[in-house]
Structure 1
């Protein structure tokens, strides 16, 4: 034990030497990673949005914003990558929460990876997780052994949140405290004064963990919001702030955002809008369509308010100055309907049959959406006004296009609209820059390496006597101080959508059989001018790099591939 502590101390000294150029350094920092769900690059105020996010804007003003940070284009692979510092297929979650029979697609974190919690806890950190887990298929375990990939079994001391990926925010599915499934009614700890809302519950429980933390130890906390993933559920007072804000439709909002983004410096002066999706003039029910975006904005606003309560908890603890707060997003804006329908009569609660209430101790649904509320109202989908607990829809493709301004595509795809994320870094004691911008490309895989460096932890070679994958990322600590990273390439694959970025060049394709497109992101980050035909040698070189990555990182063989050559990885793409 003493030998391990000695080498951890050596690692800590080395990391502190690296950080000393960034700012004044004392004890090891606390680290909080906050992540929102299904939001676009331009939604929050400090990245160009009109949504009111004063807390996040303030953190950015007193810290850094990364302008070329990336996720994996989908919620569960992103969570696997963030937690492990690996590409998602290496962690066993190349797609969703189902076992496809291949090592890259098991739907559970595998035994060849470790989480940030598992790495930092042996280095003396307390570890907390709050919010959406979504890296195991065992969301409603029949036996205790099914919890092998739950937070407490993967390195966290305390947990509050949902194990699955999507649920009502008024009465969430798979709600869990530590290792115990609970409901909003029978939770022995959290008793809010106003009607329960999961976004507020995430913030309040995170603040509670900070309040109860032993200040003699540093802590790591992972806060995974479900805002603003469908369903569009928000409090009336927050929706009222945005009444009329979106009545002009998609295009004016996109243009205003791009102008603000250029002024803020989060896009280059030469940035162009990708084509606007959706014809506002053709929208039949404009008040309803505007209300969908009003509700979405309210969800983001509510999250920002909650982050403010977490910041206040750090201030009460005297810990804000030596806490690294990182805020990012799991994928781009989501074009999924979430069950909505644009046409037909507006469906309301009136004339709906009342059902039997659900007992307080019963988790009354196991999928993504409930059939009724706990009080007995049928849950409505289709053409319904969003916000209340008895509705369950998304905000739609047109507004997702607004969220991803100025980029192309959405969640699922690996064009810039699907994978671009804000990254705010706030750490007064360790980052000297204020209101700084960092254009260095970064990726989720870099968060593990950053945490390892700052904590002085030793990244292990084994877990439970089984060899694990080495870290794929690079620590962002040098970038905090303005340096660049020594990185050859960044790679993506999701649902056959694939990409590789080397320097300013990006090769990207839709689907397993889609043609490669080539873009110079310095000149054209909106990916409007495909240069593949004029640079065939570069296409070939980058395609070969992607193929080698795919074979190494368990992207291929692909599950359920119709083309056997593609599935085996023998066909070069």
Structure 2
């Protein structure tokens, strides 16, 4: 019996040692943040904690999302193109479901905003809300109602609530209560800086008056700083302002001060996120698990152009630290936040889908302080985390055949190695705004063609000057839309007959 136990120990012990060495994984997603909104990517906003993670990790300059809240979250969680999950959620195996098969603990804080509920899809602990946007101080949804939950039980809102702080409180709580012999996956989905633009008064006032030079001056300052930081090539041009951008000089002093306040509130929200990431990093460090925790930070889409400030806020001059306020900024500020790119959230131009991404993992990143300029996509996270967890993708899950998962692992990037390129990347927003990337070529809305190697700001449409390439891209796009989206974006809807 003793000999049998000894043999059992010899063969089983290495598995547990290996399991202990697998990294914890922390995926941090912010909401509606522009490409140039971090200090380490060119911003004037104070983000010292993220800047430090970037200096000790890798800055990914060519990572892409799906340009919209729920579409990004769907691809992120499923490892599939979001169009594939329509009416097909039961065959989808989420990241926490897959990592759970490898013994990982799975927790989430923040905004869900996709199919089902977090604790139905692999998370053991959850604190946050299910819908697209809520008040930061009282949790009220943008359409009314209330959807905050703690482990899927209704949550009673305290008086001193601010969502960014609360999400971090729960993240730290979960780390405290973890089973230390097992690795964990933590998904932190902050709702900042999504509208309504709300932040504590002291944080807003820190930035008050800093934006009185206007949005064009801000774009130019960030653009210069991005070149100094080597985020963008030295010969890159700054995209022209969009046609809906107003001239700052033609605004009245009153309007300028209002616009300054709105941007100050937005900056404060990002600042507070950075403060809270500092709290989480300190907790990991205190627990002596920071070195073996992979931290990934990115945004779900580019900056938001929709000024949906509500009339009572304007009428009563409510400040962004008032829970009754509902303030948004206009497309002009979003254009500056997306420097140097064109367009915004929901669009498939780079301003909609490009995200500044940071990875930090002292024990696993062998090229700290570097850049990665390979094009990557949200679908890559599923593959990356499976590799790190040493777990295969299941053929079946909960009695259902598991749907095909996509993506290419980012793990080689952590060692400074080039990973395989995507054969293609498929982008879609409501079948109206689409993009298709194949090699250096990008097709937008089946009309515009760009060479991303020489023109990432998408200023020179090559659809007419390169007809053969244009036709090739259209053919491939239609093929992939049929495969991934049942042809919904490529099949023209029949026109209604006009009444005589």
Given the two structures, how large is their TM-score scaled by the length of structure 2?
0.90
The Cα shift of 1:126 comes to 0.3
CA deviations on 1:27-63 (whole Å, 9 max, x unpaired) are: 0000000000001100011111111000100000000
Q: Which moved more, 1:313-322 or 1:499-508?
A: 499-508
Q: Which residue of 2 aligns with 1:129?
A: 108
Q: Which residue of 2 aligns with 1:286?
A: 256
Q: How does 1:76-475 map to 2 (within 5 A)?
A: 76-92=70-86, 103=87, 110-136=89-115, 149-172=116-139, 173-185=146-158, 195-276=160-241, 277-284=245-252, 285-340=255-310, 346-348=314-316, 385-475=319-409
Tell me, what secondary structure is at the counterpart of 1:77?
helix
Tell me, what secondary structure is at the counterpart of 2:276?
helix
The Cα shift of 1:183 comes to 2.7
Tell me, what secondary structure is at the counterpart of 1:265?
coil
Answer whether contact 2:20 2:182 (CA < 8 A) is retained: no
Given the two structures, how large is their TM-score scaled by the length of structure 1?
0.79
CA deviations on 1:428-465 (whole Å, 9 max, x unpaired) are: 00001121100010000000000000001221122222
Whichever structure has more helix as a proportion of its residues is 2
* Structure 2 gaps, min length 5: 1-11, 140-145, 496-500
Tell me, what secondary structure is at the counterpart of 2:72?
helix
How many residue pairs get matched? 471
Aligned pair 1:563/2:490, yes or no? no
- CA RMSD in angstroms, aligned pairs only: 2.3
- Relative to structure 1, the CA distance from residue 73 to residue 547 in structure 2 (aligned partners, 3 Å threshold; closer, same or farther) is same
CA deviations on 1:490-514 (whole Å, 9 max, x unpaired) are: 11011211111122211112xxxxx
State the distance in 2 between where 1:536 and 1:12 align.
58
Answer whether contact 1:65 1:423 (CA < 8 A) is retained: yes
Answer whether contact 2:110 2:190 (CA < 8 A) is retained: yes
Aligned pair 1:493/2:460, yes or no? no
The Cα shift of 1:283 comes to 2.5
* Structure 1 gaps, min length 5: 1-7, 17-24, 93-102, 104-108, 137-148, 186-193, 350-383, 510-514, 566-573
Tell me, what secondary structure is at the counterpart of 2:28?
strand
Tell me, what secondary structure is at the counterpart of 1:201?
helix
State the distance in 2 between where 1:12 and 1:216 align.
9
Tell me, what secondary structure is at the counterpart of 1:307?
helix
CA deviations on 1:152-198 (whole Å, 9 max, x unpaired) are: 1100010000111101000113000012122313xxxxxxxx82100
The Cα shift of 1:263 comes to 1.4
CA deviations on 1:259-301 (whole Å, 9 max, x unpaired) are: 1111112112222212222211222311001100000000000
